[in-house]
């Protein structure tokens, strides 16, 4: 039997949850980037109106930012996975790692989500 198996299994599940979340964030960034391209292509059939150029740049920035954040999440999750695996096997008792980084990533995603909401709501109001 593996020593501290349940702790190592929990660590691995947490790592995989972070990776799954990061893949979803990157996929959403790709969707934002490509949806903006779709709007540019579909604009002639929408009454001849072209999407605004600043809006396109903003959507490109948000899409690329989400991809970068997702990539960073995978890297941070990998680093934390190995650090916690070492701590589990360590004979000494260590304090918890805290959650400042988790909260910072969550805050960044909330800011990007709010920015995307305001961009889309502006585009919706302008189209109406």
The count of other CB atoms within 10 Å of the CB of residue 54 is: 10
Q: Which residue's entry shows tokens 């070492």? A: 86
Tokens of 113: 């989500």
Report pLDDT for 121: 75
Q: Are 56 and 97 in contact (CB under 8 A)?
A: no
Task: Give mean pLDDT, residues 105-123.
Answer: 78
DSSP 99: S
DSSP 18: H
Give the count of domains, the chain.
Answer: 1
Report pLDDT for 81: 92
Tokens of 71: 């990539």
- pLDDT-derived band of residue 105, with 50, 70 and 90 as boundaries? confident
Q: What is the pTM of this model?
A: 0.70
Tokens of 118: 């305001």
Q: Are 73 and 105 in contact (CB under 8 A)?
A: yes
């Amino acid at each position: 039997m593996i020593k501290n198996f349940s702790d190592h299994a929990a660590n691995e599940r947490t790592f995989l949850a972070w990776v799954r979340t990061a893949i979803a964030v990157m996929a959403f960034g790709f969707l934002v980037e490509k949806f903006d391209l779709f709007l540019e292509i579909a604009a002639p059939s929408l009454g001849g109106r072209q999407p605004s150029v600043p809006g396109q740049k903003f959507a490109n920035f948000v899409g690329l930012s989400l991809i970068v954040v997702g990539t960073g999440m995978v890297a941070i999750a990998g680093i934390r996975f190995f650090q916690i695996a070492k701590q589990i096997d360590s004979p000494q008792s260590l304090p918890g790692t805290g959650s400042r980084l988790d909260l910072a990533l969550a805050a960044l995603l909330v800011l990007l989500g709010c920015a995307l909401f305001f961009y889309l709501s502006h585009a919706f109001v302008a189209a109406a």
